Structure 1
Amino acid sequence: MLSGILTLLLMLLFLGVWAWSWQPRHRARFDAAARLALDEGETDIDASTREPQS
């Protein structure tokens, strides 16, 4: 009984996180995070405010 309730709660938690992550308003942030490994230390948000790194 307890394991069934725990399974149901974890499944609902998973579905909630999944639904949250697929909302269109998060796309830009997730796309920026996906490019972090390819960027040369600059981000789109603060690249214009920082001085070049030496």
Structure 2
Amino acid sequence: LCAAVASKEFDLHINLNLGKSSALMYAADLTEEYVEFNKGDVTDPTTLGG
């Protein structure tokens, strides 16, 4: 499992044996650098990065 999720992208398939329905979900993991750059006081737009 560690090797699979260590890559930049991976697919995860889960079979619950509850019929033929399906769903698709997209997710992202924000890096600490991205969050640090973009953090700021939302009441003062001049403090926001990016």
Normalised by the length of structure 2, the TM-score is 0.28
Normalised by the length of structure 1, the TM-score is 0.28
Flag the structure with higher helix content.
1
